[in-house]
Amino acid sequence: MLEKILQMKKNNEKIVMVTCYDATMAKIMSNSNVDMFLVGDSVGMTKLGYENTLSVTMDDMIHHTKATARGTNKDKVVVVSDMPYKSYEDDPKLAAENAKKLIDAGADMVKLEGGLEIIDSIKAIINEGIEIVGHLGLMPQSIKKMGGYKVQCRDEESQKKLLEDSLLLQKAGVSMIVFEGIPETIAKTVTEKLDIPTIGIGAGRYCDGQVLVSDDLLGMFTDFTPKFVKKYANLAQVIQEATAQYSKEVKEGKFPQEVNTYK
């Protein structure tokens, strides 16, 4: 499956990635013609009620990776699992051990945020034969350093670093790179210089693929909608209205009816 996806860049076919965090959604979205599920550490905000991704643990990621893998049709979809904050940055040996735990939980690949700063961890993981998705640009695990969720790579120096980091990751053997929150022009330039695919989120139209957080595209997350998100449904409203209707019918004695009752 991964080979086929990597070939898509050469064939000029767009790669589709979407976040997925549990078996129910994995079963449904396995039939939605997507190529990759990302068990993102965005699970911290979308499902676990954390303020950001920094509180997500290896145990959280293992739990949600197992659930997602159980529901995924692996003939159709590759599962990528995020390595959470502090599980890989400072210690290559620990990085390789933790990457292996996510693979054992059912991931096909792991994703890490960073370039040169984490290259030793990247190499240690690849040495174990584990496939990697890189992540550059806006890196949510570095929001404190970046001063919040701000578009990155607007100046020449940071654009140069994006290109250097991308080439470094490619040389190290990383299979593809997520570009988050960067101007379209620089995403296009770097995408054209790389042999490996780029997957954009808030990175414009010219990456080799796109990723969105499923709660955003399905309209489950209602706090705010960033510019780069397109809502394809309004599930928050559907869920709220369906549940309110159920409540009304119970309170009015209209549910259950005879048809819902065992004899």
- Binding part of the chain for ligand KIV, among 39-47, 86-94, 97-105, 230-238 by CB under 6 A, reads 39-47
Looking at 211, 218, 220, 235, which residue binds ligand KIV (CB under 6 A)? 211
The per-residue DSSP string of 100-157 comes to HHHHHTT-SEEE---SGGGHHHHHHHHHTT-EEEEEEES-GGGHHHHTSS-----SHH
Angle CA(122)–CA(20)–CA(193) in degrees, nearest 5? 45
Selecting among 89, 113, 131, 180, the annotated active-site residue is: 180
Whichever of 165 and 180 has its CB closer to ligand KIV, that residue is 180
Looking at 30, 35, 36, 41, which residue binds ligand KIV (CB under 6 A)? 41
Distance CA(186)–CA(159), nearest Å, equals: 7
Contact letters for ligand KIV, residues 181-210 (x by CB under 6 A): --------------------x---------
Alpha-carbon 94 to chain mean position: 22
**Whole-angstrom Cα Rg for the chain:** 20
Looking at 15, 21, 40, 125, which residue binds ligand KIV (CB under 6 A)? 40
Looking at 15, 26, 65, 82, which residue binds ligand KIV (CB under 6 A)? 82
- Binding part of the chain for ligand KIV, among 36-44, 61-69, 116-124, 165-173 by CB under 6 A, reads 36-44
Active-site residue, 180 included: yes
Structure tokens at 11: 């064939």
Is residue 60 near ligand KIV by the rule CB under 6 A?
Answer: no
We find the least distance from the C-beta atom of residue 180 to ligand KIV, in angstroms, to be 6
Report whether the peptide linkage leading into residue 197 is cis, meaning its omega lies within 30 degrees of zero: no
We find the least distance from the C-beta atom of residue 168 to ligand KIV, in angstroms, to be 20
Contact by Cβ (8 Å): 178, 136 = yes
We find the least distance from the C-beta atom of residue 29 to ligand KIV, in angstroms, to be 14
Contact by Cβ (8 Å): 2, 78 = yes
Residues contacting 25, CB < 8 A, separation 6+: 68, 71, 214
Is residue 18 near ligand KIV by the rule CB under 6 A?
Answer: no
- Binding part of the chain for ligand KIV, among 38-46, 68-76, 98-106, 251-259 by CB under 6 A, reads 38-46
Distance CA(163)–CA(167), nearest Å, equals: 6
Residues lying near ligand KIV in the complex (CB under 6 A): 19, 38, 40-42, 82, 178, 180, 201, 211, 213
Give the catalytic positions in this structure: 180
